[in-house]
């Protein structure tokens, strides 16, 4: 018997190499770890350039640091947008699967309701038959 895949496994199969990289970058850049590491590096960069005795590779107002941030933002924004677009695709696939599950559940509930009504009618028919038999046995006595 083949194992049926859920919506998430189906979506992961459709991801290409670029999609996986974009998701990994977006996940990494959207973490506290990234923010903390970047903050430490920026403070270190500024401190080394402000108190450097021999060589200032990026003197105040830190033009090179600003250039690095601009470059990072220029690449990060489209990569994060790609990841968000894939998230929208995942959400749409998830919603479709939920809808199919709800439709199947509704059909099952309707079928059970019909069965319960049938059982109820059969019970009522039996009770009526028993009452009629009881009535005829009392009148015949």
Q: Which helix (H) or strand (E) holds 90?
A: helix 63-140
Supply 128's token pair.
């009526």
What pLDDT is attached to residue 7?
64
- Angle among Cα 48, 51, 53 to the nearest 5 degrees reads 100
pLDDT tens, position by position, 104-129:
999 999 999 999 889 988 888 888 88
Supply 132's token pair.
């009629």
What pLDDT is attached to residue 33?
94
pLDDT tens, position by position, 10-51:
767 777 888 888 888 888 888 999 999 999 999 998 888 888
- Determine contact, residues 31/91, Cβ cutoff 8 Å: no
What pLDDT is attached to residue 141?
64
């Amino acid at each position: 018997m083949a194992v049926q895949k859920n919506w998430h496994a189906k979506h992961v199969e459709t991801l290409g190499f670029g999609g996986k990289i974009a998701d990994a970058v977006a996940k990494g850049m959207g973490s506290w770890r990234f923010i903390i590491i970047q903050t430490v590096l920026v403070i270190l960069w500024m401190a080394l350039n402000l108190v450097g005795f021999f060589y200032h590779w990026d003197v105040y107002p830190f033009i090179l640091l600003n250039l690095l941030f601009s470059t990072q933002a220029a690449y990060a924004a489209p990569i994060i947008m790609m990841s968000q677009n894939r998230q929208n695709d995942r959400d749409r696939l998830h919603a479709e699967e939920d809808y199919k599950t709800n439709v199947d559940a509704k059909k099952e509930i309707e079928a059970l309701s019909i069965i319960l009504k049938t059982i109820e009618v059969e019970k009522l028919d039996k009770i009526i038959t028993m009452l009629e038999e009881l009535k005829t046995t009392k009148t015949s006595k």
